[in-house]
Chain A
Amino acid sequence: QKEVEQDPGPLSVPEGAIVSLNCTYSNSAFQYFMWYRQYSRKGPELLMYTYSSGNKEDGRFTAQVDKSSKYISLFIRDSQPSDSATYLCASLSGGYNKLIFGAGTRLAVHP
Chain B
Amino acid sequence: DAGVTQSPTHLIKTRGQQVTLRCSPISGHKSVSWYQQVLGQGPQFIFQYYEKEERGRGNFPDRFSARQFPNYSSELNVNALLLGDSALYLCASSLDIVAPPYGYTFGSGTRLTVV
Contact = CB atoms under 8 A, between A and B. Distances in A.
A103 B33 CA distance: 19
A7 interface: no
Interface residues of A, number: 25
B98 to A, nearest CB: 4
Interface in A43-70: 43-46, 49
A103 B41 contact: yes
A32 B103 CA distance: 12
A102 to B, nearest CB: 5
A45 B106 contact: yes
B100 A46 contact: no
Given A97-B48, A98-B48, A44 B43 contact: yes
Contacts of B4: 43
B71 to A, nearest CB: 21
Contacts of B109: 41-43
Interface residues of B, number: 28
Contacts, number: 70
Interface in B33-86: 33, 35, 40-45, 48, 55-56, 58
B55 A43 contact: no
A95 B102 CA distance: 15
B48 A101 contact: no
Contacts of B99: 96-97
A97 B41 contact: no
A34 B42 contact: no
A19 interface: no
Contacts of A42: 108-109
Interface string B3-44: 010000000000000000000000000010101000011111
7 smallest A-B Cβ distances: which pairs?
A101-B42, A43-B106, A96-B98, A49-B101, A34-B101, A98-B45, A43-B108
